[in-house]
């Protein structure tokens, strides 16, 4: 630990790969430094975790461990997750694992979902699933939909499906539109329907209009109000 300069400078030998950044709204020298501790990925930064673990203030220690574990997870996910699970405060621990699971979902959604399932707060679990579903749909929307149909809980399934349909509509609005009925929240379905229509119109306005005309008149008007091109196609020539 003697190589660490607590004022935010690397040691002269350049051997330790951590950095501190001045934060705002953190009182006290220890808190100010720990609020923003950041271990750079790709280096021998185990000392940063050791330093963070020794901080006496509970809230500050949690923030420091959160920052270090998230940085570790960029290059060594197993190590980062293990460190995150040592955080005492359940909210900080959950939030840390949530961030890691969201990032992981971009490459390995199935494994990211396993991590998301360990979150203690149900709301954060759903938030993680929505984010992972969104990322998964970019790569394989059909696989994402197949998984989403297995989600227990109508509200959670609806939220995840809305995210998937929005992404899918950018690639294939016709197929995405088929799944709009699985979004049970009326307001979310309305917003998602509009996004599907707009994405469809960007690809094929005439086909988009055929879809829009299957909707209630009030919804047709609402969708077209901010997309003048659609009005042109819907107006009889």
Indicate the DSSP class of residue 19: E
- 24, pLDDT greater than 50: no
pLDDT at 36: 40
Distances (CA, A) of 52 to 60, 64, 78: 9, 6, 19
- 34, pLDDT greater than 60: no
What is the Cα–Cα distance from 224 to 216, expressed in whole angstroms?
A: 12
* pTM for this prediction: 0.75
Task: Give the pair of three-digit tokens for residue 203.
Answer: 């690809």
pLDDT at 111: 95
- 9, pLDDT greater than 60: no
């Amino acid at each position: 630990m003697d190589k660490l300069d607590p004022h935010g400078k690397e040691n002269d030998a350049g051997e330790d790969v951590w950095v501190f950044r001045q934060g705002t709204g953190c009182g006290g020298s220890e808190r100010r430094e720990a609020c923003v501790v950041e271990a750079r990925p790709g280096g021998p930064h185990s000392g940063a975790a050791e330093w963070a673990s020794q901080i006496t203030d509970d809230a500050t220690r949690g923030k420091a461990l959160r920052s270090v574990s998230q940085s570790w997870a960029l290059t060594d996910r197993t190590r980062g997750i293990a460190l995150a699970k040592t955080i005492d405060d359940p909210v900080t621990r959950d939030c840390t694992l949530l961030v890691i699971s969201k990032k992981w979902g971009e490459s390995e959604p199935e494994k990211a979902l396993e991590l998301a399932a360990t979150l203690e707060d149900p709301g954060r679990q759903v938030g993680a699933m929505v984010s992972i579903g969104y990322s998964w749909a970019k790569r394989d929307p059909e696989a994402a939909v197949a998984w989403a149909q297995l989600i227990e809980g109508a509200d959670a399934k609806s939220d995840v499906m809305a995210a998937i349909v929005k992404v899918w509509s950018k690639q294939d609005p016709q197929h995405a539109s088929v799944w709009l009925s699985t979004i049970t929240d009326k307001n979310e379905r309305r917003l998602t329907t509009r996004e599907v229509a707009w994405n469809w119109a960007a690809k094929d306005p005439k086909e988009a209009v055929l879809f829009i005309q299957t909707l209630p008149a009030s919804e047709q008007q609402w969708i077209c109000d901010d997309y003048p091109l659609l009005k042109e196609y819907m107006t009889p020539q």
